[in-house]
Amino acid sequence: MFEKHGSRFATLLLFSILFVMAAEGPAFSEPSLERGKYLVEGPAACGNCHTPKGPDGEIPGMDLAGMLVEKNDAFTAIAGNITSGGSVGSWSDEELAKAIREGIRPDGSVIGPPMPMGLYRGISDDDLKSMVMYLRQVPAVDNDPGTSQYNIPLPPAYGPPITSVATVPEGVTVEYGAYLAGPIAHCTECHTTFGEKGPMFDTHLGAGGFEFHGPWGTSTASNITPTGLDTYSDTELDGMIRKGVRPGNARMLPPMPYPYLARMTDNDLAAIVLYLRSLPPLPDGGK
């Protein structure tokens, strides 16, 4: 992380952090069930893909029990039952964690799109542990949503094996906002222009343009760089992100996970807004 010539400074910094910790008690949050519940039911919105929906939204008693997410020429993607009533019930905590962060199941098979695997590789060790803790105690549902079929080749892996991802300190900072908008809430998965190999993070981060088709018709992911958001106040952005309502009260279209994002804390929302406002402005993608 630190460059060589900075290592003495890093050591000093580490000591001062340890000193502050010793003086003020633990400053780092430990993995916890509470944190896991917040992430899974809130900004990470796992249920947006994994909880079966009926005409009135989520079907009660079916939390995370699996559903058909997308059917197109390239694939029929079925998000599995991730309660202990599904096949994950027989996996160890480590195996479940590896499936979430690296997209590799215990039998070596790879989890396909649209689960946002590229971004999930950035979930911190602590948050991953918290998520697994929470998933382990979600009520088991006996439901078999079926099996996905991919007519496109899946990669053998999404990258080299991950040993550790450091915690990004919580706070209203661009850095924490980037962590939330990326690895946790995958805003940038939907809002980055898609190319042949998926979202073009290097050149089109946040520029939008991807079209989603569903019972609602077609919705297009907006440009969430400052080019797209400059004219909105922070309160208007809150309305769109946590309530799914545009200025003037028009309801926004799926599949943005509004009911989940609604559970996001004020500070987490503020960190995301700070981050979005710091992005390099880009013209609308996909045009």
List interacting residues with ligand HEC (CB under 6 A). 44-46, 48-50, 69, 77-80, 82, 86-88, 96, 99-100, 105, 111-112, 114-115, 131, 148, 181, 185-187, 190-191, 212, 219, 221-222, 224, 228, 237, 240-241, 252-253, 255-257, 261, 272
Question: Can you tell me the distance from the alpha carbon of 273 to that of 287, in angstroms, rounded to the nearest whole number?
Answer: 25
Contacts of 55 (CB under 8 A, 6+ apart): none
Question: Can you tell me the distance from the alpha carbon of 256 to that of 239, in angstroms, rounded to the nearest whole number?
Answer: 13
Reduce the DSSP state of residue 218 to 3 states and report it: strand
Q: For ligand HEC, give the closer residue by CB, 8 or 53.
A: 53
Q: For ligand HEC, give the closer residue by CB, 49 or 270.
A: 49
Helix (H) or strand (E) holding 24: helix 7-24
Backbone phi, then psi, for 79, in 5-degree steps? -80, 125
Q: For ligand HEC, give the closer residue by CB, 65 or 88.
A: 88
Shortest distance in whole angstroms from residue 194 CB to ligand HEC = 12
Give me the numbers of helices (H) and strands (E) for the chain, helices first please.
Answer: 13, 9
Q: For ligand HEC, give the closer residue by CB, 115 or 270.
A: 115
Contacts of 265 (CB under 8 A, 6+ apart): none
Torsion on CA atoms 92, 104, 44, 212, rounded to nearest 10: -150
Beta carbons of 238 and 269 less than 8 angstroms apart: yes
Strands 211-214 and 67-71: unpaired
Shortest distance in whole angstroms from residue 202 CB to ligand HEC = 20
Closest CA to 168 of 67, 275, 8: 275
Q: For ligand HEC, give the closer residue by CB, 29 or 87.
A: 87
Q: For ligand HEC, give the closer residue by CB, 86 or 118.
A: 86
Q: For ligand HEC, give the closer residue by CB, 11 or 52.
A: 52
Question: Can you tell me the distance from the alpha carbon of 272 to that of 284, in angstroms, rounded to the nearest whole number?
Answer: 20
